[in-house]
């Protein structure tokens, strides 16, 4: 991939012209492709004057923290601090049911954790870091400032997306956006050259607010998050085993805040209902629900009810976008 090799060299040159030899750079890793590729590129240019932070907000998927931290450390050798802020996030989300309020709380809490991390870093370095990395892509640039007459609307007016992007501007950090001229498929090609594992580059998108928008209603009630993690893991693993992961654009489970009656081992149960969602899409703006074969669905449903305590019913979401959105909240 000669073109991407050139991009790497060009970017490293630009980064070294922008970031002075004594300057330090800070980067929040979300666990997604963009921030990972951006950080890897910057690390190649300036080494350990890059300081990454990964926040465990308590809303991650099954073993996600362990999995992404192992990629960051063992495969990419990135200098990264993992901050476990799950208690803070979960206590702020207690009793909250409105999806937009959830997003706002999560965005705000993220900023406060990030702020604390950068203050700690400033003390350690004896000076402020000067730069902040953002994994902005070309389509984000267009979307936040749609060209006149393009017919594009600002998607953030539909849902407020709190990506790692929404960091405080009062920190007076200069932005470095090494991916801002690239499309998603180019970021993947770039990542490949930088030795980001393929399993990572091909991961489905995952929303910044994480499982908080996949447990409908109050996420702190009962053991909803834990149940959802187990169900989601079975569903995703089954999709991988069936060789469908790369065809499907995004797949996940949703925890519903209702109970239904069931019968398990001669016992009447009154337990949780989970929904499975899988879609194909080009860019997430529109999407079609995915047609699994019946045998696959039957196997997944049995596996879930047999192995996840407290679930006695599995349903599938058969709506496209529009009229639905991909997420349920």
Using CA atoms, how far apart are residues 286 and 323, in angstroms rounded to an integer?
9
Q: Is 32 annotated as a binding residue?
A: yes
* Residues 142, 236: Cα–Cα separation, whole Å: 32
For position 325 contacting ligand XMP by CB under 6 A, the verdict is: yes
Helix (H, G, I), strand (E, B) or coil at 306: helix
- The DSSP letter of residue 285 is S
3-state helix, strand, coil in the chain (%, to 5): 45, 20, 35
Which residues, 162 to 191, sit near ligand XMP by CB under 6 A? 162-163
CB 36 to ligand XMP: min, Å: 15
Positions 305 through 324 that interact with ligand XMP (CB under 6 A):
321
Residue 326 interacts with ligand XMP (CB under 6 A): yes or no? yes
Segment interacting with ligand XMP (CB under 6 A) among 56-64, 158-166, 239-247, 305-313: 158-166
By the rule CB under 6 A, 277 interacts with ligand XMP: no
* Least distance between ligand XMP and beta carbon 162 (Å): 6
Q: What is the residue-wise DSSP string for 170-211?
A: GG-PEEE-TTTT--HHHHHHHHHHTT--HHHHTPPP--TTGG
Strand 311-316 to strand 288-289: parallel, antiparallel, or no bridges (unpaired)?
unpaired
Q: How many residues bind ligand XMP (CB under 6 A)?
A: 15
Taking the complex as a whole, the smallest distance from the CB of residue 261 to ligand XMP amounts, in Å, to 30
Residue with tokens 């060789």: 243
Residue 32 or 129 having the CB closest to ligand XMP: 32
327 touches ligand XMP by CB under 6 A:
yes
Site for ligand XMP in 219-238 (CB under 6 A): none
Q: Does 214 bind ligand XMP (CB under 6 A)?
A: no
In whole angstroms, how close is the CB of 275 to ligand XMP at the nearest point? Answer: 14
What are the DSSP calls for 91-149, one per residue? HHHTT---HHHHHHHHHHHHHHHHHHHHHHHHHHHTS---EEE----HHHHHHHSPPTT
* Least distance CB 14 / ligand XMP (angstroms): 27
Is 118 annotated in a binding site? The answer is no
Q: 33 labelled as ligand-binding?
A: yes
Other C-beta atoms closer than 10 Å to the C-beta of 55 total 26
The least CB distance from residue 253 to ligand XMP, in Å, is 13
301 contributes a contact to ligand XMP by CB under 6 A: no
Q: Compute, in degrees rounded to 10, the torsion defined by CA atoms 140, 145, 146, 149.
A: -170
Residue numbers belonging to the annotated binding site for ATP: 30-36
Feature table: binding site? 30-36
Binding site for ligand XMP (CB under 6 A): 103, 159, 161-163, 205, 207-209, 250, 284, 321, 325-327
């Amino acid at each position: 991939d000669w073109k991407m090799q050139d991009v790497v060299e060009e970017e490293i040159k630009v980064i070294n012209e922008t970031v002075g030899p004594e300057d330090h750079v800070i980067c929040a890793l979300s666990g997604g492709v963009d921030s990972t590729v951006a950080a890897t590129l910057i690390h190649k240019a300036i080494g350990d004057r890059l300081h990454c932070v990964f926040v465990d907000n308590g809303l991650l998927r099954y073993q996600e923290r362990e999995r992404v931290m192992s990629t960051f450390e063992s495969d990419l050798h990135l200098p990264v601090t993992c901050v476990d802020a799950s208690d803070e996030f979960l206590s702020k989300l207690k009793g909250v049911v409105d999806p937009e309020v959830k997003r706002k709380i999560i965005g705000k809490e993220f900023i406060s954790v990030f702020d604390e991390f950068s203050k700690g870093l400033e003390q350690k370095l004896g000076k402020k870091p000067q730069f902040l990395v953002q994994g902005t892509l070309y389509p984000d640039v267009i979307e936040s400032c749609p060209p006149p007459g393009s017919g594009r609307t600002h998607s953030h007016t539909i849902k407020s997306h709190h990506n790692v992007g929404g960091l405080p501007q009062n920190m007076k950090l200069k932005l470095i956006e090494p991916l801002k001229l690239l499309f998603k498929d180019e970021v993947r090609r770039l990542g490949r050259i930088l030795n980001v594992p393929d399993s990572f580059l091909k991961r489905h998108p995952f929303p910044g607010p994480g499982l908080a928008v996949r447990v409908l209603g109050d996420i702190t009630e009962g053991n909803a998050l834990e149940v959802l993690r187990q169900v989601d893991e079975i569903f995703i693993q089954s999709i991988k085993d069936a060789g469908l992961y790369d065809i499907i654009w995004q797949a996940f489970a949703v925890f519903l805040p209702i109970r239904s009656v069931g019968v398990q081992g001669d016992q009447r149960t009154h337990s949780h209902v989970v929904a499975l969602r899988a879609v194909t899409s080009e860019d997430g703006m529109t999407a079609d629900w995915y047609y699994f074969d019946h045998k696959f669905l039957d196997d997944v449903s049995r596996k879930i009810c047999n192995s996840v305590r407290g679930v006695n019913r599995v349903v599938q979401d058969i709506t496209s976008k529009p009229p639905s959105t991909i997420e349920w909240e």
